[in-house]
Structure 1
Amino acid sequence: MKRVSLGNTGLSIFPLIYGTLPLGSLQADLSPQEGGRLIRYALEKGVNCIDTATMYGTYSHIREALRGWGGEVVIATKTHTADPAAAREHVELALKELGRERLEIVHIHGARVADPFTERAAVLEELLKMKEEGKIGHVGLSSHYVEAFRKAAAHPEIEVVHPLINKIGLGIIDGTAAEMAEAIAGCAGAGQGVYAMKAFAGGNLISEARESLAYVAALEGVHGIAIGMLSQKEIDANVSYFQHGVLDEAVWDELEKRRRRLKIMEQFCKGCGKCLDICGSKALSLVNGKAVVDESACVLCGYCGSGCPEFFIRVI
């Protein structure tokens, strides 16, 4: 299978990364068995890097997929906290839940953090300690800010970056797609591994999936793209594209007809506003005491659902 070097990390990955966010309770809410079956199918097809996060709730899905698996696998997870003690707990939880002694990549997960080297300095220090302890292979940065990656290029302790990028720039908080692309190239030029997220803008660009995927894949410095996949057909289509550059017109025509949206059960919403605090795209607001989504700004990440104490928000 095709392999690319992830910057200077020494890691070699297939350029399609399995994004597990859609499998968990924030979105499709698949059982560990259902989600694990899909991840395992992708592994058997040659995908060897899995992207997850503490808040995704998909460790059980990955653990199920890896049951009895003897092949190579690179696991990248994230901690979203500003508290270094909690960050350590997140890493320890991932190690325990996944049954591993070492995680290949752990990102500072700061979608709304423009300067992680100031705002998450203590978390970075803690992750670097855990790297010295042998529990983390490489420390990374995940963000929706152009400025965060401009700064990251000057910080060699960050070895992998996970930027939001799509052809229309939807979800980028402080700039354009062109500006993010420039920052990505700068990170790659500094030797950092780069794998992109939200190439389809969380599903908003599904009707233009082929063009959207080609745009991100062609950007200077992009080594791989994380894509959430909920069927074997999606996995096959994406593997074929990244391995051979082949686009089966019939399959992609069908995939591009899929639509997703953020569902807020407004009749139950209590208007606490906790979802607004989490939304990195500022796509939510309170109207007449109820949470309302601006679909033109929403990237369908589903993070807002994790903040709803009543679980009344989900990507469907």
Structure 2
Amino acid sequence: MPRVVLGRTEIAIHPLVFGSLPMGPLQAGLTPGEGARLLRHALERGINLIDSAELYGTYPHIREALREYRGEVFLATKTHADSAAEARRHVERALRELEVDRLDIVHLHGARLSDPFVERASVFEELLQLREEGKVRCLGLSSHYISAIKRAAVHPEIDVVHPLINRGGMGILDGSAEDMAGAIAEAAEAGKGVYAMKALAGGNLIGQARASFGYVLGLPGVHAVAVGMLSEGEINANLALFSGESPKEGIWKELESRRRRLRIMDRFCKGCGNCLPACASKAIAVKDGKATVDAGECILCGYCAAACPEFIIRVV
């Protein structure tokens, strides 16, 4: 299977990273057993980096997949903490729930932070301490901001960046896809590992999935792409595509015909507005006392669902 080294980390991975967000409670709501079967299939086919986050709720799925698995696997997670104490709790919960002694990559997740090293300085200091303690191998930054990726490119303690990039520029908060591509190239030139997110803009570009993946994989500096997958068919098709095999037209036509959307059960919405700050794309508004979504701006990340106290928002 193809392998690419993430910058200067010595972590060699398949260019297809398993993004675990869609299988969790924010989206498809697979049981840990169902998710584990998909993850195990992917691992046995050669994928060896699983991407998660404190918010995703997928640690049980990953833990189950890794039971008695003897192959090589790397684990990445993210913390959205706004305090050092909370960041430590997030990392230690990940270690405990995944039943591992060390996390390979922990990202400071600053989707809406233009300068996370200033705005989350105490969080980053705590992550440095956790790395010193041996609980974290590599530190990363995941962001929707071009300016944040540029800052990470020159930060001596950042090993990996996880930028939002797609050919439509959907979800990028301070510029175009071309601008983000330039920041990615700078980060890679500086020795950072780069694995991209939202190549399909959360499903909005699924009708052009092959071209969209090709665009991101072809950008200078991109080592790998994290993709959420919910069936063995998706895993197999993406593995073939990312491995350079000729795509099977029939399979891809079926995959590219699928559509996803954000569903808000407005009958039960109380208009509290908790979802508004959670949406990095500013796609949600409260109108007439109910939350509404602008489908043209939504990248289907599901973070609004995590913020909803009534549990009435889902990506379906």
- TM-superposed CA distance for 1:245, in Å, is 3.6
Structure 2 residue aligned with 1:64: 64
Structure 2 residue aligned with 1:152: 152
- TM-superposed CA distance for 1:71, in Å, is 0.5
Map 1:1-316 → 2, pairs under 5 A: 1-316=1-316
Identity %: 61
With 18-27 and 245-254 compared, the bigger mean Cα shift is at 245-254
Q: Distance in 1 between matches of 2:48 and 2:8?
A: 18
Query: TM-score normalised to the size of structure 1?
Result: 0.99
Q: Distance in 2 between matches of 1:151 and 1:95?
A: 28
* Residue identity in the other structure for 2:240: S
Tell me the SS of whatever aligns to 2:55: helix
For 1:245-284, what per-residue CA distance to the aligned partner results, in whole angstroms no more than 9, with x for missing partners? 4211111110000000000000100000000110000000
* Residue identity in the other structure for 2:251: V
* Residue identity in the other structure for 2:289: G
Q: Distance in 1 between matches of 2:23 and 2:125?
A: 31
Q: Distance in 2 between matches of 1:187 and 1:44?
A: 31
Tell me the SS of whatever aligns to 1:139: strand
Q: Distance in 1 between matches of 2:277 and 2:130?
A: 29
- TM-superposed CA distance for 1:63, in Å, is 0.4
Q: Distance in 1 between matches of 2:31 and 2:251?
A: 26
Q: Distance in 2 between matches of 1:220 and 1:278?
A: 31
Q: Distance in 2 between matches of 1:190 and 1:244?
A: 27
Tell me the SS of whatever aligns to 1:134: coil
- TM-superposed CA distance for 1:243, in Å, is 1.5
* Residue identity in the other structure for 2:164: L
* Residue identity in the other structure for 1:108: L
Tell me the SS of whatever aligns to 1:149: helix
Tell me the SS of whatever aligns to 1:54: coil
For 1:62-89, what per-residue CA distance to the aligned partner results, in whole angstroms no more than 9, with x for missing partners? 0010011000101000000111110000
Q: Distance in 1 between matches of 2:237 and 2:142?
A: 26
Structure 1: runs of 5 or more not aligned: none
- TM-superposed CA distance for 1:57, in Å, is 0.1
For 1:179-230, what per-residue CA distance to the aligned partner results, in whole angstroms no more than 9, with x for missing partners? 0000000000000000000000000000011110100000000000000000
Q: Distance in 2 between matches of 1:248 and 1:147?
A: 39
Q: Distance in 1 between matches of 2:50 and 2:139?
A: 16
* Residue identity in the other structure for 1:30: L
Q: Distance in 2 between matches of 1:168 and 1:240?
A: 24
Computed over aligned residues only, the root mean square deviation of the Cα atoms, in angstroms, reads 0.5
* Residue identity in the other structure for 1:48: N
- TM-superposed CA distance for 1:12, in Å, is 0.3
Query: TM-score normalised to the size of structure 2?
Result: 0.99
Tell me the SS of whatever aligns to 1:244: coil
Q: Distance in 2 between matches of 1:88 and 1:81?
A: 9
Paired residues, number: 316
